[in-house]
Amino acid sequence: MKICVFGAGAIGGYMAGELAFAGHDVCAIARGAHLAAIRSHGLKLIVEGRTRTADLPASDDPAAFGPQDVVICALKAQQAHASAGAFASLLGPRTAVLTAMNGIPWWYFYKERGPLDGHHLDSVDPGAAQWNSIGPERAIGCVVDPACEVVAPGVIEHRLFKRFTIGEPDGSTSDRVLALRDALVSAGFDAPIRDAIRWNIWLKLWGNVCFNPISTLTLATLDRVTSEPGLRALCKTMMAEAQAVAAALGVAIPEQMMERRLNAAGSVVGHKISMLQDLERGRSLEIDALVTAVQEMGRLVKIATPTIDAVLALVQERGRQAGLYSHDVPPVAGSDEGPDYRLD
């Protein structure tokens, strides 16, 4: 399979390397010192203590590569939006785009089959840049579980998990999603296909909608956010609001899963959640796909989200004060040059 990984940072680089080792025709979009290292020494993966080097073409210019069978978008949501026009040279008539990203995806309501079918979400795709430039018909959903770190330019260490849950927006088991599943499995990943990928998206978002902004505002690690009584209560209130929005959209998350989600997150002692890491490292904050989208969707289905609204206003202003919250981020960002550890 001919695959371009757009944003070969921690997750994207892990995917690119393993897919290349499996014999697929892989290229990568990266930048800066990370790109220079990949070009000079190859992409090094450290998995279970073993270091291997994948020799694959890499560039900061997507026009260097022709149309692909699949483009894996491993950028943050706001960076993917800024880079929407740069996908054009990679897209042939049948190219699929796997959105290996956190939060509510820009294509969410494409073939959703509810009253909002075809609705565009301005919070994650202002001006419909991705909807119009890439096209929702190309999208395949993905929920990312692995935890990886860019430990040095061109060097990625895998820490935990190998699952990438995928699914078509319309729930079908299409030829292209089967082919993608087979490619991912050939690379050693777990790649279950789900006929209701939005449920999996919401399940992961259920934690991120509260863990990320609360950590960013308090500077607290994940175990502290989920164990300090006041912060845990705040998480539960935000999760209940998000659960109500999801339910109004036909996605039912069982009530008993809340404590399980909180306890699982709290077991990761000392972990700084991704948004807090980004704040500390001066990187743009992924607020809109994780929090603003839930507010927008709540308003669409007339579900009040007062606690989410309040926390969102605070974290947006925190991002503005740090100069890290804006849709005006550089294209091809996200192929991070420095350390990048994603567990959430």
Q: Where in the sequence numbering do the catalytic residues fall?
A: 204
Contact 165, 177 (CB under 8 A): no
Side chain identity at 153, as an amino acid letter? Answer: P
The neighbour count for residue 320, using CB atoms within 10 Å, is 12
Phi, psi of 342 (to 5 degrees): -120, 115
Least Cα distance to 118 among 101, 104, 135 occurs for: 135
How far apart are alpha carbons 335 and 295 in whole angstroms? 28
Inter-CA distances, 186 with 106, 119, 201, Å: 28, 36, 24
How far apart are alpha carbons 318 and 291 in whole angstroms? 14
Inter-CA distances, 67 with 63, 213, 298, Å: 9, 38, 38
How far apart are alpha carbons 158 and 49 in whole angstroms? 9
Give the helix/strand (H/E) hosting 239.
helix 229-248
How far apart are alpha carbons 282 and 278 in whole angstroms? 6
